[in-house]
């Protein structure tokens, strides 16, 4: 094969992509473990609290090990209001994950999350919200997002079709058992 036709992705680009994919790969495990924790603790919000406490317990030693200075709360307090919504978004996401993952399944929940993230990210990029650089919407970006949303719908449809087929075969097995 002609080497000039093979795209070359520099390691400085590839490494962050791989790290981002690995970070994304842990999210379904987080959703599943938090859902089970919510059942074990007796309420989804207790699982949210526990998850956030575990996060704090894990990150504090890392900060100490890195010798990170104390946070400048004063500067952050004088910043825009939206600096603080990450915690609210975290609670909303963790709670939604642990309530919806058992109902929808990990794949269905995560594909909906990804579709929502991509749509919201496109808006954030287009308008340069939250201090990020503006990256205008164009036809290619809209097409990519549309494919992701379409993929979400296909996964949902595929799950419903499989559930219907399973229910139908379980019903025919039950009917055969009754006849036998």
- Whole-number Å distance between alpha carbons of 48 and 90: 9
Cα distances (angstroms) measured from residue 143 to each of 114, 123, 126: 15, 14, 15
Alpha-carbon 129 to chain mean position: 20
- Whole-number Å distance between alpha carbons of 15 and 100: 32
Better-predicted residue by pLDDT, 81 or 178: 81
Q: Please provide the average confidence, as pLDDT, over all residues in the chain.
A: 87
Q: Supply the pTM of this predicted model.
A: 0.73
Q: Is residue 79 very low, low, confident or very high in pLDDT (cuts 50, 70, 90)?
A: very high
pLDDT at 3: 56
- Contact 111/99 with Cβ under 8 angstroms? no
Quote the tokens at residue 115: 């579709």
Exposure string over 111-141, b if 16+ CB within 10 A, otherwise e = bbbbbeebeeebeebeeeeeeeeeeeeeeeb
Q: Is residue 1 very low, low, confident or very high in pLDDT (cuts 50, 70, 90)?
A: low
Mean pLDDT of 146-156: 90
- Whole-number Å distance between alpha carbons of 121 and 119: 5
* pLDDT tens figures, 33-57: 999 999 999 999 999 999 999 999 9
pLDDT at 6: 67
pLDDT surpassing 80 at residue 31:
yes
Q: Percent of the chain having pLDDT more than 90? A: 58
pLDDT at 169: 64
Mean pLDDT of 142-158: 91
Q: Is residue 170 very low, low, confident or very high in pLDDT (cuts 50, 70, 90)?
A: low
């Amino acid at each position: 094969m002609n080497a000039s036709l093979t795209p070359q992705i520099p390691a400085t680009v590839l490494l962050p992509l791989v790290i981002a994919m690995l970070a994304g790969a842990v999210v379904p495990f987080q959703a599943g473990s938090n859902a089970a924790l919510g059942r074990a603790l007796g309420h989804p919000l207790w699982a949210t609290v526990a998850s956030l406490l575990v996060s704090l317990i894990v990150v504090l030693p890392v900060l100490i090990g890195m010798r990170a200075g104390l946070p400048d709360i004063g500067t952050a307090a004088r910043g825009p209001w939206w600096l603080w919504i990450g915690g609210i978004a975290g609670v909303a996401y963790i709670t939604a994950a642990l309530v919806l993952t058992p109902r929808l399944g990990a794949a269905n929940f995560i594909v909906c999350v990804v579709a929502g993230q991509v749509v919201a990210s496109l808006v954030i990029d287009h308008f340069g919200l939250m201090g990020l650089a503006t990256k205008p919407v164009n036809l290619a970006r809209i097409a990519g997002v549309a494919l992701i949303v379409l993929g979400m719908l296909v996964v949902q449809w595929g799950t419903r079709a499989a559930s219907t087929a399973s229910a139908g075969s379980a019903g025919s097995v039950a009917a055969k058992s009754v006849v036998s």
